[in-house]
Chains A and B, each alone.
Chain A
C-alpha cells in the first residue's frame, strides 16, 4: 500500500534521514521505532508531504506522491497526526473533527453527524461541544486520531499518539487503534514505548541516527543486538549477554 524507497533529508550540516526504505502492507499495523532524534518524525513528514525529501520516492496506492502537497495526499487517503498535538484551539471538539469529515462530505449537517459519531466512538462524547483548547493531553491525542479518522483515510499515520499517557489511558488507546484497524484502516505508527509496539504491530522498522537498522516482528527486533545498542548504547548487547 505504501512503498518508501531511498528517502533522504539533510538539514544544514545534519543528515537527518539517510536512504530510508520501508513498506506498509494493506491491512497491517506497522511500526516505525527508534531512539530520540533518530529521524522518525522527519520521515513521517516527508511521507505525508510536509517536508520535501532531498532524494527518494514515496508511492501510495500506485501513485507517486513524492513531494506532493499534504492536502492532495490527504485527499488520496493518507492522513497523518501530529506528535505535538495541533488542535484548532478556537473551535469546539466537534468542529475540529468536522473539519476532517468535510473532506468526504460537503454538507455541514451530514459532516457534523459523522463527526459526532466518530468523536463518541473514540470516547470524546462528553467533551464534543467544549472548546478544544481546554482538553487534557490524553483527550488531545484522541482528538488528533478522531480528526484524521473523520477524513475516512485508507492509511493512517500516527505520530506518538501514546506518548505522555498513563497506563490506563495507554490500554484504552491501544484498544482503540486495534479497533480502527479492524474497521479496515491500515496503520503506520511511530512509537517510543516498546510495550505498546509489541502489543500492536505485526511489522517493525527500526530507525537509528537517520538510517534503517532493522526490520522484523516485535520479538525479532527486540532481540536484535543492533537495536539494543541503538537504544542503550555501544556494547550494551554484549554486556547483557554476559550477565544473562
Chain B
C-alpha cells in the first residue's frame, strides 16, 4: 500500500471535522489547535529549520494583536489591513532583534535569553504606554461582519486560521526545497563550515527570523479579531512563547508536519487531562513532562515516527 498520501488525507479529514457536527466545543478545540499549529510553525521556521531557539516569540504575536487593536480603535481601520501591516511590523522587528543578536554572535541559550528579554521589555512598554492603553488593555468594539474581519460563527474564524496554517506549512515546504532553506539548515548544522562555503551567516539567520516574525504576527491579528481584547500579558506573556516552541519541539522541530502533530498532542492530551484534573499548575507540569519525554526518548519529535517505521514495527510485532 502506498502510504505517501496517508498524512495529507488524514490531515484533510481532521481539518473538516468541525464542520460535520454542530458541536461548538469541537469547533473551539479545532480553532485553538489550528492556531497553536500555526504559531508553532511560525516559530519552527526560525527555531526548527534555523536552530534559532527563540524564547520570546510572542513578541511578534503581540505586535500583531496590538496592530489590529490599535488600528481598529484609534484609526477605525479594518483588521484586513492589519494583516499586511502586522506581517510587515513583525518581520521588521524580527530583522532588528535578529540582526543585533546575530551580529553580536549570540547563539543557543544566549540568544534564547535575549529574545526572552525583548518579549519582557515589550510587555513592560505595553503596560506603561498610553498608546497601548497600559495594563488595562484594549477592547475592540464588536462590529460583526466580513468587512470588519469579525465573525459571529467561529467556524469562519477557524477557516481563516486554517488558511494561515496552510500558508505556514507551504513556507516550511518551500524551505525544504529551496536554496535559502538549504543554506539556513547548513547554518544550523555548522556555522563555520557554512561560512567557508560562502554563506552570509548573519544575513541568512536574520532573514529567517524576520520571516518567522512576520508569520507569527498574523496569528496575533486573528487572536485579536476572535477575542476582541488584548492586554500586555496576553500579547507578550511568556506562556505564548512557551506554547510555540513546545508545539514545534514535541511535534518535530524543522519538519513540515511537526507543529501540526505537536498541536494535536498538546491540545488533545493536555486539554483533555486538564478538564479532569483542575489542580492549578497541572497543565504546565504536564507540558513539561511531555517535553522531557520527547527530548529524552524521541529527540526528532512525533514527526520522526514515520509511517514507514510504524508500519515496519507493526510487521515485526
Residues on A lying within 8 angstroms of B by beta carbon are: 48, 50, 69-71, 74-75, 79-82, 86-91, 95, 98-100, 102-103, 106-108, 111, 147-148, 151
Known pairs A82-B193, A86-B193, A90-B188. 19 more at Cβ < 8 A? Answer: A69-B200, A70-B195, A71-B199, A74-B196, A74-B197, A74-B198, A79-B197, A82-B196, A86-B196, A87-B193, A90-B185, A91-B189, A99-B186, A100-B197, A102-B183, A103-B197, A108-B179, A148-B197, A151-B198
A–B pairs, 11, beta carbons within 8 Å? A50-B196, A70-B195, A70-B196, A74-B198, A79-B196, A82-B192, A88-B186, A88-B193, A99-B186, A100-B198, A102-B182
Residues from chain A with Cβ under 8 Å of B20 in the complex: none
Q: Chain B interface mostly helix, strand, loop or mixed?
A: helix
Residues from chain A with Cβ under 8 Å of B2 in the complex: none
The 5 closest A-B pairs by CB, nearest first: A74-B198, A88-B189, A86-B193, A103-B198, A70-B195
In the complex, A99 Cα to B189 Cα: how many Å? 12
Known interface pairs A75-B198, A86-B193, A151-B197; A91-B177 also in contact (CB < 8 Å)? no
Report if B234 contacts A (CB, 8 A): no
Known interface pairs A102-B179, A111-B179; A91-B186 also in contact (CB < 8 Å)? yes
Do A108 and B177 touch (CB < 8 A)?
A: yes
Task: Say which residue of A50, A80, A82, A91 sits within 8 Å of B185 (CB atoms).
Answer: A91
**B51 nearest in chain A by CB position:** A90
In the complex, A100 Cα to B197 Cα: how many Å? 5
In the complex, A86 Cα to B183 Cα: how many Å? 15
Interface range, B side:
20 to 34
Do B189 and A80 touch (CB < 8 A)?
A: no
Do A69 and B195 touch (CB < 8 A)?
A: yes
Known interface pairs A102-B179, A102-B182; A89-B192 also in contact (CB < 8 Å)? no
Min CB–CB distance B202 → chain A (angstroms): 9
Task: Say which residue of A48, A50, A75, A89 sits within 8 Å of B189 (CB atoms).
Answer: A89
Do B189 and A90 touch (CB < 8 A)?
A: yes
Residues from chain B with Cβ under 8 Å of A81 in the complex: 196
Q: Which of A86, A98, A106 has the most CB of B within 10 A?
A: A86
Report if B63 contacts A (CB, 8 A): no
Report if B279 contacts A (CB, 8 A): no
Report if B178 contacts A (CB, 8 A): yes
Do B185 and A71 touch (CB < 8 A)?
A: no
Q: Which of B182, B192, B193, B194 has the most CB of A within 10 A?
A: B193
Known interface pairs A102-B179, A108-B178, A151-B198; A88-B192 also in contact (CB < 8 Å)? no
In the complex, A80 Cα to B196 Cα: how many Å? 6
Do A86 and B190 touch (CB < 8 A)?
A: yes
Min CB–CB distance A129 → chain B (angstroms): 15
Report if B208 contacts A (CB, 8 A): no
